[in-house]
Structure 1
């Protein structure tokens, strides 16, 4: 199998690798059809693979079979500025698309941090730092072409901004994690690049102060483009890795989009709100270099965290709660870390109630893994108890399968019937979401 097979045996998660029996690199929809048809005829599993940036084990071929890598399906088929849409193959990455869009004055807004493939982002119903303003992949995918498990190619959706025609198959496949078919083309929404952009950094004495300030800003209706929370451990690691020199305290990163006057007004409104929550400092800037450094530091936080204890692995989590329950959820997660023997931090796209935990564990210490497992489970259990979800954006993959029944109840049985109807042979990404108990 060699290095290429090794690359397809894992993702960025801590989960155990499994080698595929073979790796294929189709370039066209017709080639995908031929591959899937051959696999269906012989009962061979098919596991779609994008950029490999998944954090929950989605692309690990736990039952072997074919790893279907879409990297060669990387063509931007069409850009239609007048309709604010683009048509792309699944292997196109968000950065690639945005480079091609620059001269049009438009952008593809979903920004998960990693340079993920757009097909993979749709498969996991991904989101990211800008979703509080522009929406997740669910809102930004208009239509798909999909090869179903019997090798047929279908079109879902249209280029229209809305439709009341038929079952919403587009949003059935968005978030299906490769368990219902292979996405071969996507029609995605585009947004105008804002006239002006500004950023702000605000530190607080406590986690609760920071999160409650976000809740008030959102409830006030300020259309922030990004609002990211970093606890004091995350800030310390960011300072060390990205040389920011920020106060080591719970901190919010804001970004505002609009006209020059409007972004200034948004920043002023948010600053007033933060004062009511005992903000330690509030620094606002429209300088492009300063903004780029700030958001690059945020995107580099994964590596900054790993650098805290070289040789340790990151155990990451992702949940989302109603925004009214966000403060108590983050405070409880932080208290759990503080009471443990592990080093950990909390970050989040807190404008929509989504936050991530990250624990550093010694891969050779089973007690570390046990403690991290227990803490991660408690984070999810608390989220479900307040009406939240086991995953806000990373998806289910392998790691979150055990929570499907508790979160969705009898609806899991409906999901299993959908899976059985579309994939009666069970060849599409087996052992994942379609097989939830």
Structure 2
């Protein structure tokens, strides 16, 4: 079986929301590796290391926004990404709470933005990327995009620097539903990630087009989120999908430490599958090389392949110094509102027992095309406002009403199918 076909029952309502663990057969995968010895840098809004599901996993990191603390996360987005990658649960046997795909990987939090209203400058996140490389990170997760704009010289130089130092760089493709992958995901050598739903179908908000590399789950994704009174949230978007790919890269790097970044990417690509989507030829503009399969990525007999990155290499003649990269960039550069991929840019508060979804599909207020329009409130691009009242705290919650992961699926589970890998 590629993946298990049905979720198992659990007394923990938070763990029950993690349908991804079941369809990816993560218990079997963790018997092979749990990401030990690998550091994943999360260039984001910071990571709250106080969440019990991340205790001991988060390194000191660095704040690039101006003298702050990398462990402060006012938005919650960076903490969600970190938990998808390296959450380890809590309680007896870690049986409660959030589990990431690589629970023994370390998280290097690199704060490049404070609030959703702040601009996300290329110079700022570029300095974070270079710092991640210098600190020994082997995977860099960038769950943000620039809304169709081009990456400036600082950003390009930083990514080139990472690639030249054997680092796997993963970025979100974008949440506009556009036929164009956002940069920096679209840059040569970067693993550009789109989102699929539980049925293995492309989420309609996921960007498509040339340069798309892989697909990963990005709908109804649980994450640890200390900005919520319940400490967890559910979200959707390519942001979450990118974090799953970064976690899978960490698993591969842990299992095969001798492989280069290019050879790791080769395993991710060769182990992916189009699953039930017939007639596609890789790279497909909607599904890239297919949907990730973590277990296959660490167990399949795949030739090592060339050391170079199969997705190409970004080269820059004269990269800027780290000191120059830390300067504040002009406000006309990339805005963090383009971090639509921020927790998906579309998120919902998870109340264990009753889940309140707040789904926003609007584009940026200054944008154009379907779903756009002036006057869209700023929070539409990130997490919605906190609920006013009526929600209970985890873990003192009643049995969940409505969606129950333990129920039999109402349609054939595409993750349980066994088609041949397409487009190798």
The answer to whether the superposition gives a TM-score over 0.5 is no
TM-score band by shorter chain is: under 0.3
> Which has more helix, going by share of residues?
1
TM-score (normalizing by structure 1): 0.26
TM-score (normalizing by structure 2): 0.27
Q: Which has the larger radius of gyration?
A: 1
> Which has more strand, going by share of residues?
1
Relative contact order: is structure 1 or structure 2 higher (C-alpha 8 Å, sep ≥ 6)?
2
